[in-house]
């Protein structure tokens, strides 16, 4: 082999090695979401929505955030394939983590898997925790344990996470039996305790009042939002988000 060929071979080896390293780095960059204000809408059908039958708050909140020129990114393993009008020449960010009918126990059993796929969020909008538990008359103590467990998983994934947790809006008044009302009322009180006990110097857990002023006129059916209801919930979230977004 001539010296010229030997040098050429060395150069090719160096080039290929650099190209491989760059490819590896690019793959790592793709897996690591470096955007700021990664927001995970978490919950069940009130998160998922089901246009045209009922609405999620996500679209209304997205419009508010875009209109106020915040930088943010909805994340989740679920995609909303309903039709939404563009806003400010932008397509709606359809990612979320809401699955209709799911209880707090089902969310707890699956959230590790979701986080492994999406990466850790900066902010979680924890919608109506325990709502489906109440409708299914599941044990109240287990619901509280599950909600605390979900918060633990989220804080382990991101020790500086902010979790906005709903004091849930009621179902339609003719569905709210005395038993169901007591369940909701107790949960509303205990969410305040949960938020205080799980807030640290690094991670905030903030309770948001979704029940005061919420009426049947904001519902499309027994439990889900119409457009006015979605706007109501979105505005309550934004009142907190505008003070914590970076």
pLDDT of residue 171: 97
Distance CA 138, CA 190 (A): 16
pLDDT of residue 246: 75
Question: Do 18 and 49 sit in the same domain of this protein?
Answer: no
pTM: 0.85
Question: Do 65 and 50 sit in the same domain of this protein?
Answer: yes
Could you tell me the pLDDT band of residue 36, with boundaries at 50, 70 and 90?
confident
DSSP letters spanning 31-91: HS---SSEEEEEESHHHH-BTTTBB-SHHHHHHHHHHTT---EE--SEE--S----BTTB-
Average pLDDT, stretch 13-41?
Answer: 51
Is 54 part of any domain? yes
Is 246 part of any domain? no
Question: Do 80 and 164 sit in the same domain of this protein?
Answer: yes
CATH, residue 74: 3.40.50.1110
Q: Is the peptide bond before 52 cis (omega within 30 degrees of 0)?
A: yes
The SS3 of residue 153 is: helix
**Domain span holding position 17:** 1-32
pLDDT of residue 129: 95
pLDDT of residue 87: 97
Average pLDDT, stretch 103-131?
Answer: 97
Is 1 part of any domain? yes
pLDDT of residue 242: 96
pLDDT of residue 137: 93
Q: Say whether pLDDT at 89 is over 70.
A: yes
User: For tokens 């998922």, what's the residue?
Assistant: 48
Question: Do 26 and 125 sit in the same domain of this protein?
Answer: no
pLDDT of residue 7: 40
Q: Say whether pLDDT at 63 is over 50.
A: yes
Average pLDDT, stretch 4-22?
Answer: 39
Question: Do 24 and 42 sit in the same domain of this protein?
Answer: no
Question: Do 14 and 110 sit in the same domain of this protein?
Answer: no
Which tens digits make up the pLDDT trace of 206-231? 999 999 999 999 999 999 999 999 99
Question: Do 13 and 65 sit in the same domain of this protein?
Answer: no
Name the domain count of the chain. Answer: 2
Is 7 part of any domain? yes
Higher-scoring residue by pLDDT: 58, 28:
58
Which tens digits make up the pLDDT trace of 127-184? 999 999 999 999 999 999 999 999 999 999 999 999 999 999 999 999 999 999 999 9
Is 222 part of any domain? yes
Average pLDDT, stretch 47-68?
Answer: 98
pLDDT of residue 185: 97
Question: Do 115 and 141 sit in the same domain of this protein?
Answer: yes
Is 152 part of any domain? yes
């Amino acid at each position: 082999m001539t010296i010229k060929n030997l040098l050429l071979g060395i150069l090719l080896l160096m080039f290929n090695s650099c190209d491989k390293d760059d490819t590896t780095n690019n793959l790592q960059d793709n897996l690591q979401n470096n955007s700021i204000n990664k927001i995970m809408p978490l919950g069940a059908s009130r998160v998922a929505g089901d246009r045209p039958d009922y609405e999620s708050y996500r679209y209304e909140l997205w419009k508010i955030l875009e209109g106020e020129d915040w930088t943010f990114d909805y994340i989740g393993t679920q995609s909303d394939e309903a039709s939404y009008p563009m806003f400010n020449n932008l397509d709606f960010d359809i990612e979320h983590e809401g699955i209709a009918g799911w209880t707090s126990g089902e969310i707890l059993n699956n959230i590790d898997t979701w986080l492994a796929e999406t990466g850790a969020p900066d902010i979680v909008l924890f919608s109506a925790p325990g709502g489906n538990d109440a409708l299914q008359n599941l044990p109240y103590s287990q619901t509280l344990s599950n909600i605390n467990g979900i918060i633990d998983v989220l804080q382990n994934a991101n020790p500086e996470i902010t979790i906005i947790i709903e004091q849930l809006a009621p179902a339609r008044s003719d569905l709210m039996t005395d038993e169901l009302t007591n369940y909701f009322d107790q949960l509303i009180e205990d969410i305040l305790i949960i938020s205080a006990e799980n807030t640290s110097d690094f991670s905030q857990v903030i309770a948001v009042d979704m029940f005061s002023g919420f009426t049947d006129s904001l519902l499309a059916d027994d439990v889900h939002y119409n457009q006015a209801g979605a706007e109501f919930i979105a505005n309550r979230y934004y009142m907190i988000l505008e003070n914590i977004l970076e």
